[in-house]
Amino acid sequence: MSRVVWINGKLVPAAEATVSVFDHGLLYGDGVFEGLRIYGGKVFRLEEHLKRLYESAKAIWLEIPIAVDALAAATNETVAANKLVDGYIRLIVTRGAGTLGLDPRNCDPRVIIIADTIRLYPAEYYENGLEIITSSVIRNHPAALSPRVKSLNYLNNILAKIEGIQAGCIEALMLNHKGEVAECTGDNLFLVKDGALHTPPLDAGILAGVTRDTVIELAAEAGLVCHERPLTKHDVYVADECFLTGSAAEVIPVVRVDSRTIGDGKPGPVTRDLKELYAKLTYA
Which residues are known to be catalytic?
Answer: 150
Instruction: For residue 218, give the 3-state DSSP assignment.
Output: helix
CB 236 within 8 A of CB 257: yes
- For residue 77, the tally of other CB atoms under 10 A from its CB is 15
Phi, psi of 128 (to 5 degrees): -105, -20
Q: Which DSSP symbol is given to 144?
A: T
What whole-number distance in Å separates Cα of residue 95 and Cα of residue 90?
Answer: 16
- For residue 148, the tally of other CB atoms under 10 A from its CB is 16
Q: Could you report how far apart the first and last alpha carbons of the chain are, in Å? A: 27
